[in-house]
Structure 1
Amino acid sequence: MKSASRITPIAAFLAGAAVLTASFTAQARELSVSTVLSDAFPWGQAAEKWAELVEERSGGDLTLRVYPNSQLVNGDQTREFSAMRSGLIDMAVGSTINWSPQVPELNLFSLPFFMPDEAAVDAVTGGAAGGMVFEAIESRGVIPLAWGENGFRQLSNSRGPIDEPGDLDGLKIRVVGSPLFQDTFTALGADPTQMSWTDAQPALTTGAVDGQENPLSVFDVARIDQVGQEYLTLWNYMNDPLIFAVNERVWETLSEEERDILRETAIEAGEWEVAMTREQESERLAAIQERGVKVTELTEEQHRAFVNATQSVHDKWIPRVGQELVDTAREAIEAR
């Protein structure tokens, strides 16, 4: 009996330790994060940075597993928001363009030539208009946490220099699955062709499409010049902010501490990625030019011609985006 009484406290301790270990194991949680691009690009690096910071701050109790190349939606990047909203995806670092079919307010950033520079983008995302956009996203079952940046989108093609709207007449330009993009390039006289990025590169290689539009980071890393895109026009016609977000139902299952970690690390990763993307712009442009790409920079007069040619797009789309939101954004831009 004495021997048994000596064993009992040890057994109790071991049992308690086992329960404690099981408790910690149960607390550890992995969430899926969708991105369109891999970590070869700043976009994918933003998601990886977020995952790194979350694991570090949570001590490994909360981890993010990044799924690049839109693999959770079979390569269809425009389905990402719907998949996150329904719970098929826990979280995402996504594009305002790709999410705009489900959140019309996000078309604010795709209005052609609406945001002239990075200061304008910051004024919008960091001000009242940015708050209104976040409210619109949250009203659709997704919690936005922070901003990132895919950058200003530039135009490339295989036919020749483009410095006036007439140069686009009849050119087949690959665009993402957004009706606003269709309207913009139609207004410019082009033949917009909708396709995913997965399908775009083969189409450019074969000449099925003549051109495309993307940020310099994508043009550089994807070596778009190697698929016949020898001419690049810097026209800054729209900027594509990224958004760090989480499914609302997933968010509700998290503790306050976990929510704080996710939000704080998203903001930190976003600020890191925005700074990196912008710092690399001049270096990327130099590298692109060194590879023989002919770069056209528009004069103020040439730029104005494109603005005038796309005014009808504003007339059609501002009511869809929301007049109040557009006015609030315009005030922030003018006051920057």
Structure 2
Amino acid sequence: MQWMKGLLGAAVAAMIALPAHAADYKDEYKVSTVLGTPFPWGIAAEEWVKLVDERTNGRIKMKVYPGTQLVQGDQTKEFTAMRQGIIDMAVGSTINWSPQVKELNLFSLPFLATDFAATDAITGGPAGEAVFAAIEKQGVVPLGWAENGFREVTNSKHPIRTPDDMKGLKMRVVGSPLFNDTFTALGANPTQMSWADAKPALTTGAVDGQENPLSVYSVAKMDTVGQKHITLWHYMNDPLIFAVGKRVWEGFTPEDQEILRQAAVDAGKVGIAAARKGITAEDPSLIEEIKATGAEIVELTPEQQKAFVDATRGVYDQWAEKIGPDLVKQAEESVAQSRK
């Protein structure tokens, strides 16, 4: 009998030592995104899926569901759905998650970060760490950064060079009160709608213009819906965040958590490179490609950009108080350091 007890004890010990993934992992983890490939957003998400698959030898299966189809196309509900466990994971926009995490409005402050160095300084500095901590308090675990890009303004009516040129334009904006306030301050008539509804509205003329990165403009062929006037004003960048719902995250072993996190960091670098491709002084190929469609691209001078900064300063100050003055100050200090 004693030898049987010994065997039983050994068997129990072996079962306890088995890694959690042997029995507890899902057959598939759903990853929500607004945009799929070939947009940089989708490229980042697909790279994450690929790297995790490779680094776990297929033990962790993830699948990207673009178009926010997991939340019936309402991108502002994505964060809540992940927190509630309806969505396992997401590569999401700081804009779309800002209604639930007020600190994420930091990135939408008009003209806070107007170049890539400033963006990187914020995400890679104390403000970025504070934003991740705020997200985790809401029941979602952030893992890494990607990028949608600088949101440039386009319209079907005329070139935009001064705030006066915005007056009266019907502009599609995302579902964020800060965007409403910014475009109202510039004299435009903002209309909130999802990306799924935006292109049809531009096609019919229900709205005159919109704001999005040039990569989105190009892939979505927005020149075909009358968006022939583009102004590069760099008024805000839209970082993306790789994240996992907390309950899902806690189901992974520490080793697999580290694989997921590092894969997100590495995929983020791929996504950021894709978002910045063709729009720099060193590589203006995407800008040239868009010009070839017949679109007119206005690049603001520093003096012209300052007029927009001045026109939206009241919105900036008002929202800095809502977001948190200390967090905004941290971001501003990082931006200042990036320019030295």
The Cα shift of 1:280 comes to 3.0
Q: Take 1:159 and 1:190, find their aligned partners in 2: how far apart are those partners?
A: 13
Deviation at 1:28, TM superposition (A): 6.3
- Residue aligned with 2:99, SS: coil
Report the AA paired with residue 215 of structure 2. Answer: S
Q: CA deviation at 1:276?
A: 2.4
Maintained 8 Å contact 2:277/2:286: no
CA positional deviation for 1:74 = 0.4
Output aligned runs, 1:268-279, within 5 Å: 268-279=266-277
Residue type at the aligned position of 2:118:
A
* Structure-2 change in CA distance of 1:209 and 1:53 (3 Å): same
* Residue 279 of structure 1: how far off its partner (Å): 2.5
The one of 217, 227, 230 equivalent to 2:228 is 230
Q: Distance in 1 between matches of 2:133 and 2:214?
A: 30
State the Cα deviation string for residues 157-182 of structure 1 (Å, max 9, x = none): 00000000000111000000000000
Aligned residue in 2 for 1:36? 34
Residue 255 of structure 1: aligned partner: 253
Stretches of structure 2 lacking an aligned partner (at least 5 in a row): 1-17
What per-residue deviation string (whole Å, max 9, x for no partner) do you get for residues 60-119 of structure 1? Answer: 110111100000010011110011011100000000000000001000000001102100
1:309 CA drift (Å): 0.2
Corresponding residue number in structure 1 for 2:11: none
Instruction: State the match for 2:10 in structure 1.
Output: none
Mean Cα deviation higher: 271-280 or 236-245: 271-280
Q: Which residue of 2 aligns with 1:82?
A: 80
Please give the secondary structure, in 2, of the residue aligned with 1:335: helix
Aligned partner of 1:17 in structure 2 is: none
The partner residue of 1:312 within 296, 311, 314 is: 314
Question: Deviations along 1:283-328, whole A, 9 cap, x unmatched?
Answer: 2211110000011111111111000000110121001110000000
**1:38 shift after superposition:** 1.2
TM-score (norm 1): 0.92
- Contact 1:150–1:242 (8 Å) recurs in 2: yes
Residues 1-336 of structure 1 aligned to structure 2 (within 5 Å): 29-281=27-279, 282-336=284-338
Identity of aligned residues (%): 59
RMSD: 1.3
Which residue type is aligned with residue 313 of structure 1? V
One-letter code aligned to 1:38 = G
Structure 1: which 5+ residue stretches go unaligned? 1-19
3-state SS, counterpart of residue 146 of structure 1: strand
2:87 and 2:267 mapped to 1: Cα distance? 20
In 2, Cα distance between the equivalents of 1:27 and 1:198? 33
Quick check: 2:25–2:252 contact (8 Å CA) kept in 1? no
1:208–1:28 distance in 2 versus 1, CA, 3 Å: closer
| Structure 2 CA distance for partners of 1:82 and 1:27, relative to 1, 3 Å | closer
Distance in 1 (CA, whole Å) between partners of 2:114 and 2:317 is 18
Secondary structure at 1:66 match in 2: strand
Asked whether the equivalents of residues 34 and 68 of structure 1 are also in contact (C-alpha less than 8 Å), the reply is yes
Instruction: Indicate if the aligned counterparts of 1:165 and 1:188 stay in contact, CA closer than 8 A.
Output: yes
What is the one-letter code of the residue matched to 1:225?
Answer: D
Aligned residues: 315
Deviation at 1:29, TM superposition (A): 3.7
TM-score in terms of structure 2 length: 0.91
Whichever residue aligns with residue 296 of structure 1, its letter is V
Distance 1:310 1:273, change over 3 A: same
- Asked if 2 retains the 8 angstrom alpha-carbon contact of 1:203 and 1:209, the reply is yes
Structure 1 residue 27: deviation in Å?
Answer: 5.1
Amino acid at match of 1:192: P
Separation (CA, whole Å) in 2 of partners of 1:315 and 1:123: 21
Matches of 1:189 and 1:27 in 2, distance apart? 52
Letter of the aligned partner of 2:322 in structure 1? R
User: Is the CA contact 1:28–1:60 (under 8 Å) kept in the aligned structure 2?
Assistant: no
Structure 1 contact 28–61 (Cα < 8 Å) conserved: no
Deviations 1:254-278 (A, max 9, x none): 1011101100100000011112221
